[in-house]
A and B are shown apart, each in its own frame.
Chain A
């Protein structure tokens, strides 16, 4: 039995919605003891998020919540009750990391900003993820994933020319703010291992998004060339490097597409052979990348005439056999039901859950040879670990727990 790489790291998890829980999902997958502190009067809205199993939300039957909160514990704590505040401070004193993604003044209003956290635990690693960060003139503004994507420049970088932005059909910046927070927390843990020193990590979700647009920002600041110009965004054609063909092509069936990226002349020649040397493809206008770029409309039309004769998987297999970069635009059902690569890599796991039953979970990325991340438990029922945490982490006896229960602290 290998050890988990974050074994022994305790996280006081004050996060909710998606960005924060994504950060703690990473930490939990790698073995941190992540304790979700939940308040019954201000419950994580994702506990009500669809898809749910059953007719109505119960706080414990959301597949959406389950997806982001596996491997974690849940305790109920009324943080507005004075004794709840005391319990929270004791939990912080017993934790290595505190993470939250509230708006930027909530911790201050709880008398739990970084200087105060440090008084409770001098080497605490405190990570805050807010829309705009804890400083700057707009620190009180707030975001959800889609807002952060819009403000960071990511939304406008997705779409067809002459159309409104397609943007992102999911909260890419909730995932990514969480991923960045997990990186920052683990780097801070390493620093603490070496020096004994904790710190505050102040993250802005919008900044974490702007970071993902670096070359486009530099094109503007160095070359004065704006993104907002005719022909942009270029749909699925290549922005940089400028190569063709590079697009999605319809295939046989309803809403079935294959993405094909030809990066140079050698790959183009391989694609021509894979298409069985059609006469149009031997036209000298298509022989060079410059020629293919100049004649992209016709090129894409010709290719799509070819791809529609096959299924998306057939096109991918034909082209990949010739060394051409091609991939099916897979839906979730395709990845779960058909994808041989995920299956061969044992990507899907099964875990039991009291209300969701036994269901499927994706694995842990990446794979570590000596201390891999492991799926241990499904998401916790609301408050299911309250007594365990009070007893085992905070050292309370049964009478104290009963008193807290009776006084409405644990709800």
Chain B
């Protein structure tokens, strides 16, 4: 058993909104028992599915968000199963649930009903346990709408007149919420390390997202301006220059600054000129870093960007990306998930891990750890569990401990 949270027992009663919190803890070594209703968590019905065919053990979404967990089916509408759940929670260090406010208490499964004073009881909900919207229903997109991220993402009028605010895909609202839930859980764990005391944690998606829009909030708090959406770059108080350019292979590249310092400008200039671009960059008016920076109306900056646009259009995106990076430019190709998995750099670091499951012939790659721990390595100990795979095992462990 490795991982900095090895030895901790976690009970997870979560579907799509909260399951990533359980994964984060499980991947760091905790023993996470996912309690599911007889039909399985609704997360098992979220695609994509293996070969496009739905089934409780075929959701790739479920595979990803439930690594290193065990699955125990307990029908919490029955008294026996509730007793087993209580016994499980009494022996646990951490409980994570994402039911609507009041659901746990109505079934006697709240902190008072469990009666384990050391338990860290984390509730993840769209809006928090109280307040006028606490009964509102939500989803990843609805959360991203109300919390503010969507109004930051979108298009220049010229690219898509009248375009709506855009939601980034991949359940990013749930990710942010679960990151915050785990902050709370680990802070509570450190408090418990010192005092032995458990506590309740109330994690609101709405609050987590409200403080995850970078410059958006400060602009209102300090100068009472709402920022405007722009294509593929930061929302801003005033229109700014483009960052996205299309390369010869049809892929886009983000150009985030050009030759901010003289040393990297010289390298860039020589590169362009060796390829037949930017002959005029030798003129002294390009020598000043200030003249080269966009956003201040400098004609030189405009000329550089126009020439760079021609250069990019004549080359593949990864050629421009790597050539720019080798010359000190923090540029990046806009890659699709099927392309990130090909990049050998991440394989050098052992980042992608192999997973198997129902109806696949050979192991497939998926993202591994967001962090490399030198002493307590992240580890894929087991793939996501089949529905109820560990029910008997978990109940036998409870019997061994003298409950339920």
Contacts and interface: CB of A to CB of B under 8 A. Distances in A.
Contact of A240 (B48, B184, B328, B337): B48
Contact of A233 (B46, B169, B201): B169
A169 interface: yes
A222 interface: yes
Contact of B337 (A131, A186, A220): A220
Contact of A153 (B150, B215, B223, B337): B337
A230 B202 CA distance: 41
Contact of A210 (B187, B211, B221, B346): B346
Interface in A98-151: 114, 131-133, 135-144, 146-148, 150-151
B87 interface: no
A33 interface: no
A199 interface: yes
Q: Is the interface of B mostly helix, strand, loop or mixed?
A: mixed
B345 A332 contact: no
Nearest to A204: B349
Interface in B367-400: 367-376
Interface stretch (B73-81, B136-144, B275-283, B297-305): B136-144
A303 B133 CA distance: 24
A182 B145 contact: no
Contact of B155 (A51, A160, A250, A336): A160
Contacts of A194: 7, 193
Given A144-B330, A146-B234, A333-B224, A216 B170 contact: yes
Contact of A133 (B170, B212, B349): B349
Contact of B199 (A9, A183, A342, A371): A371
A221 B217 contact: no
Q: Chain B contact residues (Cβ within 8 angstroms of A): what range?
A: 35 or more
B171 to A, nearest CB: 8
Q: Is the interface of A mostly helix, strand, loop or mixed?
A: mixed
Contacts of A359: 221-222
B115 interface: no
Interface string A217-242: 11111110111100001111001111
Interface in B311-365: 325, 328, 330-341, 344-346, 348-349, 351, 355, 360, 364-365
A408 interface: no
Q: Which 9 A-B pairs have the closest CB atoms?
A: A63-B222, A169-B152, A366-B203, A214-B64, A169-B235, A220-B338, A158-B168, A186-B186, A332-B220
29 contacts: A9-B190, A131-B330, A136-B345, A146-B234, A148-B332, A151-B335, A165-B334, A169-B152, A179-B180, A183-B183, A184-B373, A188-B4, A190-B186, A194-B7, A202-B372, A203-B372, A210-B340, A217-B341, A218-B63, A221-B366, A222-B360, A228-B336, A320-B136, A325-B137, A365-B184, A367-B201, A368-B188, A368-B201, A369-B199
